[in-house]
Amino acid sequence: MAKTAETVWINCLKIIKDIVEWQHFKTWFEPIKPVELKESVLMIQVPSQFFFEYLEEHYVNLLAKTLKRELGKEARLEYRIMVDSGNNGRNGSMDIPASTARTYTNNEMDFPLVINNPVKNPFVIPGLKKMQIDPQLNPIYTFDAFIEGDCNRVARRAGKTVAEKPGANSFNPLVIYGGVGLGKTHLAQSIGNEVKRLHPNKVVLYVSSEKFINQFQDHSRNNAINDFIHFYQLIDVLMIDDVQFFARAEKSQDAFFAIFNHLHQSGKQLILTSDKAPKDLDGMQERLLSRFRWGLSADLQLPDYDTRIEILEKKMKNDGLDMPKEVVKYVAYNISTNVRELEGALISLLAQSSLNKREIDLELAKKVLRNFVKTSSKEITIEAIQKMVCEYFDVSYDKLLQKTRKREIVQARQITMYLAKAFTKNSLKTIGEHFGGRDHTTVIHSCQTVKDLMDTDSLFRENVMELTQKVQLAAM
Ligand code: ADP
Ligand code: MG
């Protein structure tokens, strides 16, 4: 039987499949289409310039060997590239001028690679892009509201560049990393808002990694992973917040990998945030980490004193507030942990000032800040904390004490124990007794669970932080 492009390619794939890891095979070989066979020259079609270069870099030997096995020593491979938007950010319908067709010669392998004229990108389905995708952006997070300092200059400027020319810059992906409350979410959202402002037709999406993982798991349960991946492939500018949570979600990493590759290959922009530098992300597949290194990783540091003052002044201006400069300085000087706490202190100050119908002055600031460093003056009771938590979660006091296993109630109870431990001087035994006679090990376990959940669940963390503030205020 005469050889055709298809049969030759199928035989090559049989070998490649055994050698290449499954996921790599899916990503880099399945999208390839055999186009034509002329004597010993096989032409294959690849989706992008980037794709071509990747094959060149990583698989040229393998391709050469398998093809020579099929077609003999004279075997040649030619590429047809479907779309080139790898680094110029233009979308798929751009043709590369014929003059850019190049011939590559790999001396060692004696394996010349010819790039053929590209054709139009088949992945752009008209109409599909018009689909309304809510970008999930909060309009308050803008570059303008994000104060620049030494602590964040590189990240902020890179973010601006990315927003101006999404996909068409060398910061793809842009990885923003730094500790809690240093502005990762704010910066990622600013990029989204700015892209929307400058390029209203771009499809923008902000998503937390937790939401991504949940969506993935839902789709996976319903055998709809393809829909999931397709949806994400429609995005022009994708921001994924807190990617460190992927560490425990192996399957979601596979989906993310497929989406990442597709978007990157088509010149789409990716922005990722993480609480650690990529190199310190444990539990993340190496192939993902290596992709993170393709772009730029920029960190956010603690803002210095002057930047903290500027941040406070900006917040006050935005909210139409005023307070004496000495108070601003006092707050900026004393709160140096992170920007979220800085804001928390400002809010507490405002709350106290309006509660007590009293001007914000240094004396009040001292009082409020004392609670931020946890030297509360007034002893708060376990009952008072229970009451606050019940109100906050809208749970009845009885339920809080009962032996129910309902998750919301169990969590509310654990948070109450945690706060009672942190803000009262009661022993673990006494705290346990206040929860229908539980013993001290239950209290220890609850406190540990709360700490763990705060590390992994941002909504939970927000709740605990908010409650902590309420308790602090009550203890004043
Ligand atoms: P992260 O996601 O790193 O935990 P966020 O982006 O949620 O932190 O930031 C916490 C708070 O601090 C937000 O309200 C944000 O607006 C504010 N913030 C952080 N950095 C800055 C900055 N440089 N200028 C102004 N506000 C900032
Ligand atoms: Mg965040």
- pLDDT computed for residue 46 by the predictor: 85
Alpha carbon of 116 to ligand 2 centroid (Å): 45
CB of 443 closer than 8 Å to CB of 421: yes
Q: Is the pLDDT of residue 306 over 70?
A: yes
- pLDDT computed for residue 83 by the predictor: 52
- Is 183 annotated as contributing to ligand binding? yes
Higher local confidence (pLDDT), 122 or 347:
347
Look up residue 177 and give its two tokens. Answer: 């990393």
Range of weakest confidence among 42-51, 252-261, 439-448: 42-51
Q: Which ligand is nearest to the CA of 319?
A: 1
Three-state secondary structure string covering 378-419? CCCCHHHHHHHHHHHHCCCHHHHHCCCCCHHHHHHHHHHHHH
Percent of the chain with pLDDT over 90: 47
Tell me the average pLDDT across 363-375. Answer: 75
Three-state secondary structure string covering 233-285? HCCCEEEEECHHHHHHCHHHHHHHHHHHHHHHHCCCEEEEEECCCHHHCCCCC
Q: How confident is the model at residue 308 (pLDDT cuts 50, 70, 90)?
A: very high
Q: Is the pLDDT of residue 104 over 60?
A: no
- pLDDT computed for residue 476 by the predictor: 58
- pLDDT computed for residue 27 by the predictor: 79
Tell me the average pLDDT across 24-51. Answer: 85
- pLDDT computed for residue 110 by the predictor: 38
- Is 276 annotated as contributing to ligand binding? no
- pLDDT computed for residue 373 by the predictor: 57
Domains defined for the chain, CATH in brackets: 5-95 (3.30.300.180), 134-300 (3.40.50.300), 305-369 (1.10.8.60), 382-475 (1.10.1750.10)
Query: Cα 391 to the chain's mean position, in Å?
Result: 33
Amino acid type, 177: Y
Pocket lined around ligand 1, Cβ cut-off 6 Å: 145-147, 152, 178, 180-186, 311, 314, 339-340, 343
Q: Distance between CA 399 and CA 397 in Å, rounded?
A: 5
Q: Which ligand is nearest to the CA of 245?
A: 2
For the ranges 10-24, 138-152, 322-336, 375-389, the maximum mean pLDDT occurs at 138-152
| Closest C-alpha to ligand 1, atom 14 | 340
175: left (phi over 0), alpha (psi -120 to 50) or beta: beta
Mean pLDDT over the full length of the chain: 83
DSSP secondary structure, 107-149, as one string? TTTT--EEEEPP---TT--TTGGGS-------TT--STTS---
Look up residue 331 and give its two tokens. Answer: 């707050």
Q: Which ligand is nearest to the CA of 344?
A: 1
pLDDT digits (tens, 9 = 90+) for 390-403: 999 999 999 898 88
Q: Distance between CA 26 and CA 229 in Å, rounded?
A: 14
User: 229, 240, 234: which is closest to 191 by C-alpha?
Assistant: 240
Q: Is the pLDDT of residue 327 over 90?
A: yes
Q: Is the pLDDT of residue 126 over 60?
A: no
- pLDDT computed for residue 212 by the predictor: 95
Q: How many residues are given for the chain? A: 476
Tell me the average pLDDT across 268-296. Answer: 93
- The preferred substitution site among 142, 207, 273, 339 for testing ligand 1, maximizing ligand atoms within 8 Å of CB, is 339
Tell me the average pLDDT across 96-121. Answer: 35
- Where b means 16+ CB within 10 Å and e means fewer, 199-217 reads beebbbbbbbbbebbebbe
- pLDDT computed for residue 119 by the predictor: 36
The pTM score is 0.57
Antiparallel, parallel or unpaired: β 113-116 and 103-104 = antiparallel
Percent of the chain with pLDDT over 70: 87
Higher local confidence (pLDDT), 355 or 317:
317
Tell me the average pLDDT across 404-418. Answer: 91
- Is 149 annotated as contributing to ligand binding? no
pLDDT digits (tens, 9 = 90+) for 154-179: 999 999 999 999 999 889 999 999 99
- Is 184 annotated as contributing to ligand binding? yes
Amino acid type, 293: R
Alpha carbon of 191 to ligand 2 centroid (Å): 14
Tell me the average pLDDT across 223-237. Answer: 91
- pLDDT computed for residue 425 by the predictor: 77
Look up residue 350 and give its two tokens. Answer: 């405002």
